[in-house]
């Protein structure tokens, strides 16, 4: 099988290298959008052709420092498996591992602590169908109650139960999460969810009467939003070009 080599001499398949490039680009795009939380939060991706091997960022690097070659291979328990001494945060992978274990279709999982995402997560009503973007996300969102810093592996079962077949989640009093079969799909979903959260924060901040859309229209729009693959196929190449222009070097 064809292989691509890392700078430090390890080899991998071309498929893994492409996922590494996409994942590193996703980290850069999160930073470019102002969604990063210093060195906290993670984006993980399953290594192609494996069940329980994943890629994640090195603990201590900011998102604009992530490259395809400095991503770390870990197992389902967050242990480094690539022979390196790279530091990782196993506790930070708890939420990700829960999703990857329950969902074979989860090629990538993105979890964020944005200001607007945290604000919406603290509302009892969660994300409201105030605009088209929120409606597109609404039918695919689940909710999970806050149980403290994600150190307890027992929480994984409850998180899996709450996620179900949904592809986005509001972690109450915590943040947001999205998954996809590919990095591209996961990014498009988190982009939609985060943009909807920002719009809601701004809308409610105006303290004006709200106009409610027709419930049937809301439901119909929500069903349209469940399929991210088609839009991701068009939008992801544009996202990569943006990352290349504004944050080059992720593909090294």
* Residue whose entry in the numeric block shows the structure tokens 């049937």: 216
Cα–Cα distance measured from residue 59 to residue 41, given in angstroms and rounded to the nearest whole number: 10
Average pLDDT over residues 40-44: 96
Topology of domain 12-246 in CATH is: L-fuculose-1-phosphate Aldolase (3.40.225)
Residue with structure tokens 């409201």? 128
**Structure confidence by residue, pLDDT tens digits, 135-191:** 999 999 999 999 988 677 788 999 999 999 999 999 999 999 999 999 999 999 999
Please say if the pLDDT value at position 6 is more than 70. Answer: no
- Across the range 23-29, mean pLDDT stands at 98
Q: Are 59 and 39 in contact (CB under 8 A)?
A: yes
Residue-level pLDDT at 205: 97
> What's the distance, Cα to Cα, between the start and end of the chain in Å?
21
Report which of 177, 183, 212 is spatially closest to residue 96, judged by C-alpha positions: 177
Helix 155-163 / helix 94-102 crossing angle, nearest 10 deg: 50
Nearest by Cα to 60 from 18, 88, 93: 88
The pLDDT value recorded for residue 148 is 84
Distance in angstroms (rounded) separating the CA atoms of residues 158 and 163? 9
User: What is the rounded distance in angstroms from the CA atom of residue 47 to the CA atom of residue 13?
Assistant: 10
Phi, psi (degrees; rounded to nearest 5) at 38: 55, -115
Domain ranges of the chain: 12-246
Helices (H) and strands (E) in the chain, counts: 8, 9
Q: How confident is the model at residue 225 (pLDDT cuts 50, 70, 90)?
A: confident
């Amino acid at each position: 099988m064809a292989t691509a080599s890392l700078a430090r001499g390890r080899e991998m398949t071309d498929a893994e290298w492409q996922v590494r490039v996409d994942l590193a680009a996703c980290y850069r795009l999160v930073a470019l959008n102002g969604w990063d939380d210093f060195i906290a939060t993670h984006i993980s991706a399953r290594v192609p052709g494996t069940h329980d091997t994943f890629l994640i960022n090195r603990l201590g690097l900011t998102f604009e420092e992530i490259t395809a070659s400095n991503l770390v291979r870990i197992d389902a328990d967050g242990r480094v498996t690539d022979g390196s001494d790279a530091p990782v945060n196993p506790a930070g992978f708890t939420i990700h591992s829960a999703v990857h274990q329950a969902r074979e279709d989860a090629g990538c999982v993105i979890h964020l602590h944005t200001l607007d995402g945290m604000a919406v997560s603290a509302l009892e009503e969660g994300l409201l169908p105030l605009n088209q973007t929120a409606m597109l996300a609404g039918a695919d969102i689940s909710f999970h109650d806050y149980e403290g810093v994600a150190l307890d592996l027992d929480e994984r079962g409850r998180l899996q139960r709450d996620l179900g077949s949904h592809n986005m989640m509001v972690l109450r009093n915590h943040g947001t999460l999205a998954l996809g079969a590919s990095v591209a799909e996961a990014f498009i979903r988190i982009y939609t969810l985060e943009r909807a959260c920002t719009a809601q924060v701004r809308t409610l901040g105006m303290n004006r009467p709200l106009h409610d859309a027709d419930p049937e229209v809301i439901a119909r729009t929500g069903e349209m939003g469940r399929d991210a693959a088609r839009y991701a196929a068009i939008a992801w190449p544009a996202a990569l070009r943006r990352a290349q222009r504004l944050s080059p070097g992720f593909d090294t």
